[in-house]
């Protein structure tokens, strides 16, 4: 890896931080981001820089970076754009190796801003200092309890999904979906205008990061398409990269230009080239996050043949349609496998795939049914669709007549959760991927467990898309590497 890029280690695991623009004005980013850093539990040294204050939030403040009596690994800038350059020169002189420029008001505002931005990059590069941003929301690294970013008091847990996004809002939403799915974050970057480091640099860094298992990225444009694709190919050979691309249409491109000043590229060409480079392209924020999360702790399917197990016939129909529409194959099971399943299921079961459990919610039957599919050699992935009990807690029960059996809800939810662990254990043993989708509400799915449990999908469609993306990725890995 490029030596300067290696300095990202200082950004994600700093021993000390200079915070340029630290303040106690409650509505300023210089307060909100500093406060996130402190309340997130970062244990290194924090040096507020503010020429007008003795202390900030109980920490001794310094007029300039030059005055800090210590080495500084990471400098964070929240001062107005006109003041960044001077502070940055101070940092360069002190040997600071990583700068996080939250400040906006550069290239995205036109020529004058672009000139300031170029000057800033020039100075940083001369000093061997890397810059994240400008015009970004910050970064996070839960393993270091490091959350110098904008979303207020948002401290997602440690995990193995890495993120890079040209939009802070989209970054938050991507992480939100992954956390709701029960997983956590390795490292996340809001890359903003990408004046110095670009998306592809972060991808290269995350490819070598041992904490990161899969990468989710939001991009609005690339500066050098050929270079991007060359380096992306190196990354995707090592780790899956799931991308949401903004600026796919003329109106999206024009919106992107005013957002981060991104240079748009021809959508169709770029998307096709990305796919050839092993990058998985998605169409919505939720799809990007959930697809990326699906790779965590789950074996890759060997092909596109799918077995579907469902507690309700309608869901099986929906799932069959959707699988077929996105190019998966609803496996035709052999008579031998069907008769094995027939032995497990009630008399009125109609043999076929989807395997409709005909409202039989007996957990002791589900496991051998799934095991039969996972070991028969006729399917490459198994979808298990479990309809959680629908609830509406606003309506009071009238128990003067009838019985309050609402305890059944929690019982079934808990049973399902424990059971899903067993099923995922089985998956790991048999090395055939299993995708469980349920209407069970996320908040009842129990404690997060640091990525030990593969995600449970909210919808049939998300689960099917995940199978498809993972099968696509396996096919890519097995293809001969393309030329540069």
Dihedral pair phi/psi, residue 165, rounded to 5°: -145, 135
As given in the structure block, the two tokens for residue 388 are: 């959680």
**Nearer of residues 186 and 236 to a second copy, judged by Cβ:** 186
251 binds a second copy (CB under 8 A): yes
Count CA within 13 A, CB hemisphere, residue 306.
31
Nearer to a second copy, 83 or 145 (CB): 145
Question: Strand, helix or coil at 115?
Answer: helix
Angle between helices 168-180 and 285-294 (to 10 degrees): 50
Q: CB nearer to a second copy: give 123 or 257.
A: 257
Helix H or strand E segment including 73: none
What are the Cα distances from residue 348, in Å, to 340, 358, 385, 395? 15, 8, 20, 36
Residues in 65-94 at the binding interface with a second copy, rule: CB under 8 A = none
Question: Does 384 participate in binding a second copy (rule CB under 8 A)?
Answer: no
Interface with a second copy, residue 172, by CB under 8 A:
yes
Each as own residue / partner, the long-range contacts of residues 274-278 (CB below 8 Å, 24 or more positions apart, any chain) are: 274/229, 274/232, 274/243, 274/245, 276/229, 276/482, 277/229, 277/232, 277/233, 277/236, 277/482, 278/232, 278/233, 278/236, 278/237, 278/241, 278/473, 278/476, 278/477
Start-to-end CA distance of the chain, whole Å, equals 18
As to burial, measured by CB atoms within 10 angstroms (0-12 exposed, 13-18 middle, 19+ buried), residue 257 is middle
Candidate residues 299, 312, 360, 368; the one interacting with a second copy per rule CB under 8 A: 312
Regarding 107 and contact with a second copy (CB under 8 A), the answer is no
Q: Which is nearer to a second copy, 42 or 205 (CB)?
A: 42
Listing DSSP states for 364-405 in one string gives HHHHHHHHHHHHSSS-SEEEEEE-PPP--TTSPP-TTSS---
Which part of the chain contacts a second copy (CB under 8 A), choosing from 71-79, 83-91, 150-158, 366-374?
Answer: 150-158
From residue 265 to residue 304, the character string flagging contacts with a second copy as x (rule: CB under 8 A) and all else as - is ------------------xxxx------------------
Residue among 3 and 27 whose Cβ is closer to a second copy: 27
Among the listed ranges 89-97, 193-201, 273-281, 320-328, the one in contact with a second copy (CB under 8 A) is: 320-328
DSSP states of 444-476 = GS----TT-SPPPBSSHHHHHHHHHHHHHHHHH
Beta bridge partners of 146: 141
Nearer residue to a second copy within complex by CB, 92 or 460: 460
Stretch that binds a second copy, among 6-14, 69-77, 225-233, 244-252 (CB under 8 A): 244-252
Per-residue x/- mask for a second copy, residues 399 to 438, rule CB under 8 A? x-xxxxxx-xx-----------------------------
Q: Does 327 bind a second copy (CB under 8 A)?
A: no
CB of 134 to a second copy, least distance (A): 13
Give, as one character, the DSSP assignment of residue 94: H
- Please name the helix (run of DSSP H) or strand (run of DSSP E) that holds residue 355, with its range, or none: strand 355-356
Residues 202, 239 contacting (CB under 8 angstroms): no
Q: What is the DSSP letter of 216?
A: E
In the set 134, 316, 446, 454, which binds a second copy (CB under 8 A)? 316
Q: Which window, 115-123, 295-303, 439-447, 473-481, contacts a second copy (CB under 8 A)? A: 439-447
Q: Interface with a second copy includes 191 (CB under 8 A)? A: no
CB of 58 to a second copy, least distance (A): 7
Q: Does 155 bind a second copy (CB under 8 A)?
A: yes
- The least CB distance from residue 479 to a second copy, in Å, is 27
Distance of closest approach, residue 369 Cβ to a second copy, in angstroms: 16
Q: How far is the CB of 129 from a second copy (least distance, A)?
A: 27
- Dihedral sign, CA of 142, 147, 149, 155? positive
CA distances from residue 359 to 121, 310, 356, 374, 379 in whole angstroms, order as listed: 63, 9, 8, 21, 23
Q: Does 15 bind a second copy (CB under 8 A)?
A: no
* Given 141, 175, 243, 344, the residue binding a second copy (CB under 8 A): 175
Q: How far is the CB of 209 from a second copy (least distance, A)?
A: 21
| Per-residue exposure over 368-386, b if at least 16 CB sit within 10 Å of its own CB, e if not | ebbbbbbebeebbbbbbbb
Cβ closest to a second copy, residue 98 vs residue 460: 460
Stretch that binds a second copy, among 82-90, 114-122, 160-168, 208-216 (CB under 8 A): 160-168
Report the C-alpha gap between 460 and 328 in whole angstroms.
13
Q: What are 330's strand-pairing partners?
A: 306
Q: Which of residues 217-236 bind a second copy (CB under 8 A)?
A: 218, 220
Q: Pick from 51, 395, 478, 484 the residue near a second copy by CB under 8 A.
A: 395
d(CA 222, CA 74): 26
DSSP classification of residue 297? T
| Minimum CB–partner distance for residue 166 and a second copy (Å) | 7
Q: Which is nearer to a second copy, 66 or 361 (CB)?
A: 361
Is position 249 an interface residue for a second copy (rule: CB under 8 A)? yes
**Contact code string over 335-374 relative to a second copy, x by CB under 8 A:** -------------x-x-x-x-x------------------
């Amino acid at each position: 890896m490029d030596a300067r890029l290696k300095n990202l280690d200082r950004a994600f695991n700093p021993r000390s931080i200079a915070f340029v623009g630290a303040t106690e004005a409650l509505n300023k980013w210089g307060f909100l981001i500093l406060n996130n850093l402190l309340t997130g539990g970062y244990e290194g040294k924090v040096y507020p820089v503010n020429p007008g204050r003795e202390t900030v939030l109980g920490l001794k403040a310094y007029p300039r970076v030059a005055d800090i009596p210590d080495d500084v690994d990471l400098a964070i800038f929240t001062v107005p754009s006109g003041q960044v350059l001077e502070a940055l020169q101070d940092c360069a002189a002190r040997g600071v190796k990583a700068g996080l420029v939250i400040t906006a008001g550069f290239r995205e505002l036109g020529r004058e801003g672009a000139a300031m931005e170029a000057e800033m990059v020039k100075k940083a590069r001369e000093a061997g200092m890397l810059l994240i941003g400008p015009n970004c929301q910050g970064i996070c690294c839960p393993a270091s309890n490091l959350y110098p970013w904008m979303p207020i008091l948002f401290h997602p847990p440690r995990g193995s999904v890495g993120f890079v996004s040209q939009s802070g809002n989209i970054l938050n939403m991507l992480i939100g979906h992954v956390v709701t799915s029960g997983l956590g974050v390795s490292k996340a970057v809001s890359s903003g205008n990408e004046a110095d480091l670009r998306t592809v640099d972060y991808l290269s860094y995350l490819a070598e990061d041992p904490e990161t298992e899969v990468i989710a990225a939001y991009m609005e444009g690339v500066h050098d398409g050929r270079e991007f694709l060359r380096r992306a190919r190196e990354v995707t050979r090592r780790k899956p990269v799931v991308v949401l691309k903004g600026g796919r249409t003329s109106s999206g491109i024009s919106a992107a230009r005013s957002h981060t000043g991104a240079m748009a590229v021809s959508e169709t060409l770029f998307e096709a080239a990305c796919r050839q480079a092993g990058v998985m392209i998605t169409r919505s924020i939720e799809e990007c996050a959930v697809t990326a999360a699906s790779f965590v702790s789950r074996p890759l399917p060997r092909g596109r043949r799918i077995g579907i197990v469902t507690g309700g016939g309608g869901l099986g129909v929906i799932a069959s349609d959707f699988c077929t529409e996105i190019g998966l194959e609803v496996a035709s099971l052999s008579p031998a496998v069907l008769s094995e399943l027939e032995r497990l299921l009630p008399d009125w079961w109609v043999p076929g795939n989807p395997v409709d459990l005909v409202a039989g919610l007996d957990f002791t039957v589900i496991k051998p049914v799934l095991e039969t599919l996972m070991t028969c050699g006729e399917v490459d992935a198994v979808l298990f669709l479990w309809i959680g009990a629908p609830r509406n807690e606003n309506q009071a029960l009238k128990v003067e007549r009838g019985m309050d059996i609402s305890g059944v809800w929690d019982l079934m939810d808990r049973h399902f959760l424990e059971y899903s662990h067993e099923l995922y254990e089985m998956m790991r043993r048999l090395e055939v991927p299993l995708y469980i989708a349920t209407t069970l509400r996320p908040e009842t799915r129990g404690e997060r467990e640091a990525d030990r449990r593969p995600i449970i999908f909210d919808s049939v469609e998300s689960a099917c898309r995940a199978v498809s993306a993972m099968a696509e990725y396996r096919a890519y890995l097995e293809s001969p590497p393309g030329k540069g």
